[in-house]
């Protein structure tokens, strides 16, 4: 089936045989699952299945025993908007996007996307546009701009956004060409170290320590996925870094959370101490940003031989946009996804539309977790420090590259899952905030069913220390 075909495109990147794809049981039908032409069902099932295979490999390394891997394609698709299904004390936790965020008509029939969910990006865009913070004011201001000039001006001001392109236009863009030369993700050796046996424990990632220095959805989903297989995850944030509670509760299952301000020497040293005793370092800064603090891949491979360093950015480490800020929504707009979505599923008014899930974000998170687990297995077998490198744009290219559901099959697609399905996929956990109702882990493993040993906690809830192994 298509999901197995998609899984076959992931496995060789990690040096795994494409034949392994056949060993995963994928149920739950096929695309379309929700109103979009993009194959979000098969890609989510494939990415989740890849994490299951990598976890099963680590289990076999520990015990010599194989286990069965299964995925429900519809549950996997629901996980691409898991924040939608989060309830705190019976109340739906729905983080509203800032009203200014969105696509606006610019000059010459073009459209511009203004990303405004974080205060600093919003301020940058409003300063460039010279208008107040309201949808009407932004609409009026954008209408006077050339979309490409506005894209460059907002980026230069430290904001995020872009000109809305078609897929054909993106295909001709130098950044798309740069990404096309890369695999979906890279797993690269970055240092020598002797093989390191997995710590004792009764789960695939028992005793593995993960530092999560990411935010929003993709990176945090990676660490959440590692936690569901038994890793000890410590999320590191700082008071000056903007965050949204709804996203943090959604991606925080299984994690501890501490605050460190890496601009302060003492806090930076505390972090490096955690790295020395850790196994996986996951970060989502733009390429080169952390080198000045001694936290670049090669620097940490020297500090902690055998580190698995997971690196996420928006547009990859090559090409003219390598240092450019971006998010799932930015990639959707500049690469033609919103243009196509708007053609097939028009909104209340004409123009580009977001697809109905955060596919690029969550898919990237699953692929990061897959890469991290493959690298941990390599470290156990052959030693070395490893870099797992991926970008949102690479994942977007993979998603689009899977082709589209024929338009004839896109009639009367339900916009939501059934109440029975959501009930079957949901669990409750007791957290500091109260009772959380949320989706449970998607992948099914026959011997080590994934679960989160810790509830989601508020940012900075814990001290920056590792729990005892």
Q: Where are the domains of the chain?
A: 2-94+180-316+357-445
Rounded to whole angstroms, how far apart are CA atoms 135 and 102?
9
- CATH class of segment(s) 2-94+180-316+357-445: alpha beta
Question: Do residues 73 and 26 lie in contact, with contact meaning Cβ atoms separated by under 8 Å?
Answer: yes
Q: What is the dihedral of CA 3, 6, 12, 15, to 10 degrees?
A: -40
CA distance 437 to 427: 6
Helix (H, G, I), strand (E, B) or coil at 403: coil
In sign, the C-alpha dihedral spanning 290, 292, 296, 299 is negative
- Judge contact between 289 and 75, C-beta under 8 A: no
Note whether 305 and 384 are within 8 A (CB): no
Q: Is the peptide bond before 228 cis (omega within 30 degrees of 0)?
A: no
Nearest to 417 by CA among 87, 81, 78, 36: 78
CA-nearest of 77, 72, 79, 129 to 100 is 129
Q: What is the mean pLDDT of each run of 10 residues along the chain (469 residues)?
A: 95 94 97 98 98 98 97 98 95 82 96 91 94 95 97 95 97 97 97 96 98 95 98 94 78 97 96 98 91 95 98 97 94 98 93 97 98 98 98 98 97 97 98 96 98 96 95
Question: What's the token pair of residue 251?
Answer: 């991606």
Radius of gyration of the chain (CA): 21
Q: How far lies 234's CA from each of 30, 163, 175, 397, in Å?
A: 36, 37, 34, 31
So what's the pLDDT on residue 244? 73
pLDDT for the residue numbered 328: 96
CA 3/CA 218 separation, integer angstroms: 21
Residue 161 backbone phi and psi in degrees, to 5: 155, -165
What string of DSSP letters covers 92-130?
Answer: E---PPPTT-EEEE-GGG-EEEE--SSHHHHHHHHHHHT
CA distance 46 to 30: 12
Distance CA 46, CA 11 (A): 10
Neighbours of 80 (CB within 10 A): 30
* Residues 368, 389 contacting (CB under 8 angstroms): no
The pTM assigned to this predicted structure is: 0.97
């Amino acid at each position: 089936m298509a999901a197995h075909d998609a899984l076959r495109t992931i496995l060789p990147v990690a040096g795994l045989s494409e034949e392994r794809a056949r060993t995963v049981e994928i149920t739950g039908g096929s695309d379309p699952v929700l109103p979009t032409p993009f194959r979000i069902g098969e890609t989510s099932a494939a990415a989740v299945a890849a994490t299951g295979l990598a976890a099963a490999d680590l289990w076999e390394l520990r015990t010599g025993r194989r286990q069965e891997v299964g995925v429900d394609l519809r549950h996997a698709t629901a996980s691409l908007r898991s924040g939608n299904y989060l309830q705190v004390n019976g109340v739906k936790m729905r983080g509203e996007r800032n009203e200014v965020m969105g696509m606006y008509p610019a000059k010459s029939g073009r459209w511009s996307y203004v990303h405004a969910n974080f205060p600093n990006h919003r301020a940058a865009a409003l300063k460039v546009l010279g208008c107040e913070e309201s949808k009407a004011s932004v609409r009026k201001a954008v209408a006077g701009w050339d979309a490409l000039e506005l894209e460059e001006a907002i980026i230069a001001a430290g904001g995020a956004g872009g000109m809305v392109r078609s897929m054909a236009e993106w295909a001709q863009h130098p950044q798309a060409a740069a990404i096309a030369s890369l695999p979906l993700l890279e797993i690269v050796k970055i240092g020598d170290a002797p093989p390191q046996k997995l710590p004792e424990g009764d789960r695939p990632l028992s005793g593995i320590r993960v530092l999560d220095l990411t935010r929003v959805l993709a990176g945090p989903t990676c660490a959440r996925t590692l936690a569901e297989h038994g890793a000890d995850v410590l999320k590191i944030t700082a008071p000056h870094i903007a965050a949204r509670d709804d996203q943090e509760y959604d991606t925080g299952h299984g994690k501890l959370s501490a605050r460190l301000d890496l601009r302060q020497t003492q806090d930076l040293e505390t972090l490096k101490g955690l790295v020395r005793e850790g196994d996986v370092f996951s970060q989502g800064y733009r390429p080169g940003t952390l080198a000045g603090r001694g936290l670049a891949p090669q620097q940490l491979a020297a500090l902690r031989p055998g580190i698995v360093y997971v690196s996420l950015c928006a547009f990859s480490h090559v090409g003219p946009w390598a240092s450019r800020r971006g998010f799932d929504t930015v990639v959707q707009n500049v690469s033609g996804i919103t243009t196509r979505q708007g053609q097939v599923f028009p909104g209340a008014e004409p123009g580009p539309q977001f697809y109905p899930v955060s596919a690029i974000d969550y898919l990237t998170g699953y692929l990061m977790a897959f890469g991290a687990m493959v690298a941990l297995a390599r470290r156990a077998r052959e030693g070395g420090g490893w870099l797992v490198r991926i970008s949102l744009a690479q994942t977007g290219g993979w998603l689009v590259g899977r082709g589209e559901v024929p338009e004839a099959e896109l009639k009367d697609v339900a916009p939501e899952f059934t109440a029975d399905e959501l009930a079957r996929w949901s669990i409750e956990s007791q957290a500091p905030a109260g009772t959380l109702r949320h989706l449970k882990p998607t992948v099914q493993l026959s011997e080590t069913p994934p679960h989160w040993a810790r509830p989601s906690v508020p940012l900075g809830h814990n001290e920056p220390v590792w729990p005892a192994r």
